Amino acid sequence: MIIGVAKEIKNNENRVALTPAGAEMLRQAGHTVLVEQNAGLGSGFSDESYLKAGAQIICDKKQLFDSAEMIMKVKEPLAPEYELFHEGQILFTYLHLAPEPELTKALLEKKVIGIAYETIEGPHHSLPLLTPMSEVAGRMSVQVGAQFLEKPFGGKGVLLGGVPGVEPAQVVIVGGGIVGTNAAKMALGLGARVTILDLSADRLRQLDDLFNGQVTTVMSNSYNIAQWVKKADLLVGAVLLPGARAPKLVSDDMVKTMEPGSVIVDVAIDQGGSVETIDRVTTHSDPTYTKYGVVHYAVANMPGAVARTSTFALTNATLGYALQIANKGWKQAVQHDAGLAKGINVLDGKLTYKAVADALKIAYTPLEQLL
Ligand SMILES: NC(=O)C1=CN([C@@H]2O[C@H](COP(=O)(O)OP(=O)(O)OC[C@H]3O[C@@H](n4cnc5c(N)ncnc54)[C@H](O)[C@@H]3O)[C@@H](O)[C@H]2O)C=CC1
Ligand SMILES: CC(=O)C(=O)O
């Protein structure tokens, strides 16, 4: 198979979908790997390192897209990329289609085979290609939250851990999955008080065990969320209903009860965001805005800022799937791996992921009907 690795164009997106090691493994399996010029630079990989691994460097983005049977990316395509796809081309990347009607329309019109990292399933409904970036973003949420709590960054001037004689800050995390757990680890490590709300009583039990009672676990409902949002110095949005638009769990009225200079980091923004006062996606170059005196951070590609760590973590998880798709062809690969099949969101002009179809009010076609 001819595989094209595109350079990312999103604001401060420094990750790349394939490392030189991955290029070498695909080459050894008999595939042709085309890498867009400078695609790896933001993660510390030179064009020479890809050439040494047996890849070819392509200077022209259009030529790369025209030649490749499978395009590997990190982030969802942006408008200037929509035109570059061709019918039957495989796109292997994060897609997050539920909040993206224009992108979805473009991929359907182009009849692209869109395999979304974030909906591929592993054992027990785990999300193996989302997990590594959720680990990164969960950890970062506390790092960036701590910074924006500082006065020069618009915050109330509170140190997460406090100091002897001065109480620590209160971190409230809505959603106790991978992002939530990693945020809690960092916040506890810095000495903050931590509360996690989740819908699943089993998950709350696991968190209580995992943190040995050091975090407060609370059942998620609108009453409890309102109580805890009011107390939060740092609020982290970390919910997910796979594929679907994130539920707006934190209302406008709840945010109004927060103290001025408190901070919200809504990690779930890539699925549309879980906080009502977040009405726009922010970027690494302009990461925050203030509403009702509260600092809002809503960057949809947080791991792009720590690209070297993130690229290794992401490609550790994606490469095996890329090899399956390239070696067997997409159809056989999904027929052999039901978890990989869950990644197919669009195929042959049809929407094949139910939660996305429901969010966008587009007809849903079960994948099995198209195989
Ligand atoms: N902004 C960024 O750069 C990044 C964003 N993300 C996003 O972070 C979000 C969370 O991802 P993960 O932690 O991996 O998901 P996860 O599936 O591991 O955890 C989600 C948790 O939310 C809980 N939940 C669902 N509905 C809830 C409700 N009403 N109240 C409270 N909890 C509820 C679930 O029970 C689950 O424990 C996703 O949208 C993911 O795409 C992940 C990585 C990077
Ligand atoms: C998960 C995701 O959207 C990201 O890593 O950017």
Write the pLDDT tens digit of every residue in 128-171. Answer: 999 999 999 999 999 999 999 999 999 999 999 999 999 999 99
Task: Count Cβ atoms below 10 Å from residue 18 Cβ, excluding itself.
Answer: 30
Residue 355 DSSP SS3: helix
Q: Residue 208 above 90 pLDDT? A: yes
Task: Indicate the pTM of the whole model.
Answer: 0.97
Query: What would the pLDDT profile of 276-328 be if each residue is shown by its tens digit?
Result: 999 899 999 999 999 999 999 999 999 999 999 999 999 999 999 999 999 99
Task: Count Cβ atoms below 10 Å from residue 366 Cβ, excluding itself.
Answer: 11
268 annotated as belonging to a binding site for a ligand? yes
How large is the average pLDDT for residues 109-130? 97
Task: Give me the catalytic one of 31, 47, 96, 296.
Answer: 96
Per-state percent for the chain, helix, strand, coil, to nearest 5? 40, 20, 40
Looking up tokens 């392509």, which residue turns up? 58
Ligand 2 centroid to Cα of residue 300, in Å, is 7
Burial class (CB in 10 A: 0-12, 13-18, 19+), 205: exposed
Task: Count Cβ atoms below 10 Å from residue 230 Cβ, excluding itself.
Answer: 16
Query: What would the pLDDT profile of 85-107 be if each residue is shown by its tens digit?
Result: 999 999 999 999 999 999 999 99
pLDDT value, residue 361:
97
Interface ipTM: 0.99
Nearest Cα residue to atom 36 of ligand 1: 177
Instruction: Please tell me the number of the ligand nearest to residue 181's CA.
Output: 1
* 314 CA closest ligand 2 atom index: 5
Residue 178 CA to residue 303 CA, distance in Å, equals 14
Query: What would the pLDDT profile of 135-146 be if each residue is shown by its tens digit?
Result: 999 999 999 999
Q: Residue 114 above 90 pLDDT? A: yes
Looking up tokens 């979805």, which residue turns up? 104
User: In this structure, what token pair is assigned to residue 23?
Assistant: 């290029």
Q: Which CATH architecture has domain 130-300?
A: 3-Layer(aba) Sandwich (3.40)
Looking at CATH, the fold of the domain delimited by 2-111+307-369 is given as: Rossmann fold (3.40.50)
pLDDT value, residue 216:
98
Ligand 1 centroid to Cα of residue 298, in Å, is 14
pLDDT category of residue 201 using cuts at 50, 70 and 90? very high
Q: Residue 353 above 90 pLDDT? A: yes
27 annotated as belonging to a binding site for a ligand? no
Domain with CATH 3.40.50.720 in the chain: 2-111+307-369, 130-300
* 136 CA closest ligand 2 atom index: 5
Contact between 236 and 267 (Cβ < 8 Å):
yes
301: Cβ below 6 Å to ligand 2?
Answer: yes
Residue 176 CA to residue 153 CA, distance in Å, equals 27
How large is the average pLDDT for residues 267-273? 96
Q: Which residues line ligand 1 (CB under 6 A)?
A: 118, 130, 133-134, 137, 174-180, 197-200, 203, 220, 238-241, 246-247, 249, 267-271, 300-303
270 is an active site residue: yes
Looking up tokens 């197919």, which residue turns up? 344
Task: Tell me the pairing of strands 216-219 and 234-237.
Answer: unpaired
Nearest Cα residue to atom 29 of ligand 1: 199
pLDDT value, residue 279:
86
Contact between 348 and 90 (Cβ < 8 Å):
no
131: Cβ below 6 Å to ligand 2?
Answer: no
- Return left, alpha or beta for 31; rule: phi > 0 is left, psi -120 to 50 is alpha, else beta: beta
Burial class (CB in 10 A: 0-12, 13-18, 19+), 177: buried
Residue 86 CA to residue 284 CA, distance in Å, equals 31
Instruction: Please tell me the number of the ligand nearest to residue 299's CA.
Output: 1
Nearest-5° Cα angle at 144, 138 to 219: 45
The conformation of residue 120, written as its DSSP 8-state character, comes to -
239 annotated as belonging to a binding site for a ligand? yes
The conformation of residue 86, written as its DSSP 8-state character, comes to -
Q: 228 vs 29, 118, 239, 248, CA distance in Å?
A: 53, 29, 16, 16
How large is the average pLDDT for residues 345-370? 97
* 133 CA closest ligand 1 atom index: 43
Nearest Cα residue to atom 5 of ligand 2: 133
pLDDT value, residue 42:
98
User: In this structure, what token pair is assigned to residue 18?
Assistant: 């394939």
pLDDT value, residue 9:
97
